[in-house]
Structure 1
Amino acid sequence: MRTSAGSTDRVWFITGASRGLGRAFADAALAAGDRVAVAARSTGPLERLAAAHPGRVLPLGLDVTDRDAVFAAVAAAVGHFGRLDIVVNNAGMLSMGMVEEFGEAEARAQLDVNFFGALWVSQAVLPTLREQGSGHLVQISSIAALGGFPSTGLYSASKFALEGLSEALALEAAGFGVKVSMVQPGGYWTDLYTAMHSTGTLDAYDPLRAELAKQFAEGSVDSDPKLAAEALLKLVDSDEPPLRLLLGSMVYDLAFDIARTRMDTWARWEGVSRAAEHAVPAPGAPADADR
């Protein structure tokens, strides 16, 4: 909530807060005068953050794939601060590999963190937000939710799933005064790529991998996570936040390119699409003459 001086006194719950975007979000919230429950598997950085901001930071060790642990962490945050105002589902991982190269355990691990982890947090915080009649749930999605790209198919799948879930959740939560937003960032200098998992490889995809490596070498320029944190603050400060927010010029342009391509394709195939629908009575329904 805003004070008369214009500062804030909101309570945040941020997952994946020990480094990268999550840490930038926590720093920005603290700089704005808010209090923060920071959750991550690695607690050392969280403890140091708490020591630097006495009474304003609650460090929580958390593996978001553990549903019971997620509910316990949220309960601890609510018990400590008394409420939650902004929840940021930021924890995530990246597994790289062509779709054919993923084993079952690798595929499930990708979805467990990026999709199910966000689902568990969303479920855990909603009772508090509903009872308050307020709150803002922010899902950190990705450029990968705009479209699928070679070698990030399972990562894209996890973010597409998160966005489908979040669209429905936004409609379900709106009647309780709870807002939901999806943030789609481009590239930022975090450890997402250095900490990523890579599958085993099939020789058949070596030419494609070489082409991708060339593209990354020629045009991969990322941004300071502080810029994403500044955008996040503008989002949560808004009285009417958007359902989706693109972060970065490259992502912005790509989103429009993908949307135009899809619309062009739909238009070219309009005849086939419309011909595939013609209402008929339900199977087994009596004919009009027999009624």
Structure 2
Amino acid sequence: MAKTIFITGASRGFGKIWAEAFLKRGDKVVATARDISTLNDLTKQYGDSILALQLDVNDRDADFAAIQQAKAHFGSIDVLINNAGYGLFGSVEETSEKEARDQMETNFFGLLWLTQAAIPVMREQGQGHIIQVSSVLGLVAAPILSIYNASKFAVEGLSETLAAEVKGFGIKVSIVEPNGFSTDWGSASAVHSVALPQYDEMKAKQQASFTADFFGKPEATTDAILKLIDSENPPLRLFLGKIGYQWVKQVYAGRAAEWDEWNDVSVAAHGH
């Protein structure tokens, strides 16, 4: 059954690939981008099946207006995919105030505003599916992506809470956690803080650690997203790629061991 899907960040990368996949199979798509001309090829090919909207997700009023425009145009919103975001590369020390605030505005607050806007629509429908594009870096942190890590950790916490809050309304929530993929996330779409030489060695080691097959093929994610959308009982969390799950398991095992080692101290801190 065809669905109406609202997806942000559709100008390139995952957003563009997924939007086209939805359209190809007959879904209705509301695709947003800061530069709406990047969607001209889709609007030309798919006509009335796509509503292309210019949107800066940082603008809360514009987010609410876009959701209402989508509902008025297609009559419903079955799926919201909060995909808009970018990577900020820089250590904690290197990151400026503006860079940090801009990163959180787009990756976290933009997602929050659209989620808030969509909930009443989906609650009135009695159904809906909110898909938050997070990252494996929302579960484990990597150096030199300090504020990006923080933004995705925030998305994880928000979305897990959201899932419990809206379950009774018939609204499902899924958090998608890709590992690295060969998009322009780390190149043309990225922002880099002014480098300090003290971190050069760490950055070089990190870059050298990327093997030939570390980055997945973005087109290969399409089937997973379609299965997620079509599932009657979708998972709260879904990894994309083969690297993330193994990495998270390893890191979480280390966390559990450390918690166990310090558990006597923790219990004593309870006081009784």
TM-score, normalisation: structure 2 = 0.96
Q: Helix, strand or coil: the match of 1:182?
A: strand
Q: What displacement does 1:220 show?
A: 5.9
| Partner residue, 1:117 | 110
Indicate conservation of the 8 Å contact 2:214/2:243, yes or no: no
Q: What displacement does 1:152 show?
A: 0.6
| Partner residue, 1:214 | 208
Indicate conservation of the 8 Å contact 2:90/2:144, yes or no: yes
Stretches of structure 1 that go unaligned for 5 or more consecutive residues are 1-7, 280-291
Q: Distance in 2 between matches of 1:210 and 1:34?
A: 44
Q: What displacement does 1:219 show?
A: 4.7
Indicate conservation of the 8 Å contact 1:39/1:59, yes or no: yes
Q: Distance in 1 between matches of 2:245 and 2:212?
A: 16
Q: Helix, strand or coil: the match of 1:55?
A: helix
Q: What displacement does 1:223 show?
A: 2.1
| Partner residue, 1:39 | 32
Instruction: Judge which range, 234-243 or 135-144, deviates more.
Output: 234-243
Q: Distance in 2 between matches of 1:210 and 1:44?
A: 37
Q: What displacement does 1:32 show?
A: 2.3
TM-score, normalisation: structure 1 = 0.90
Which one-letter code corresponds to 1:65 in the other structure? N
Name the CA shift for 1:67/1:130 in 2 (closer, same or farther; >3 Å): same
Q: Distance in 1 between matches of 2:204 and 2:83?
A: 31
Q: CA RMSD in A?
A: 1.2
Which one-letter code corresponds to 1:52 in the other structure? Q
Which one-letter code corresponds to 2:226 in the other structure? L
Q: Are residues 1:101 and 2:94 paired?
A: yes
Give a deviation string over 1:52-102, Cα, whole Å, max 9, x none. 012100000000001111111111111100000011000001110111011
Stretches of structure 2 that go unaligned for 5 or more consecutive residues are none
Give a deviation string over 1:131-160, Cα, whole Å, max 9, x none. 111000000000111211110111000000
| Partner residue, 1:51 | 44
Q: Helix, strand or coil: the match of 1:37?
A: strand
Q: Are residues 1:92 and 2:91 paired?
A: no
Which of 188, 203, 214 pairs up with 2:197? 203
Which of 147, 156, 161 pairs up with 2:154? 161
Q: Are residues 1:243 and 2:236 paired?
A: yes
Give a deviation string over 1:224-243, Cα, whole Å, max 9, x none. 22221211111111111111
Q: Distance in 2 between matches of 1:203 and 1:240?
A: 49
Q: For 1:8-87, what aligned pairs fall within 5 Å after superposition?
A: 8-87=1-80
* Structure index of larger Rg: 1
Structure 1 runs, 4 residues or longer, greater than 3 Å off:
218-221
Q: What displacement does 1:278 show?
A: 2.7
Q: What displacement does 1:208 show?
A: 1.3
Q: Distance in 2 between matches of 1:239 and 1:90?
A: 22
| Partner residue, 2:247 | 254
Instruction: Judge which range, 117-126 or 261-270, deviates more.
Output: 261-270
Which one-letter code corresponds to 1:206 in the other structure? D
Q: Are residues 1:266 and 2:239 paired?
A: no
Aligned residues: 271
Q: Helix, strand or coil: the match of 2:57?
A: coil
Q: Percent identity?
A: 45
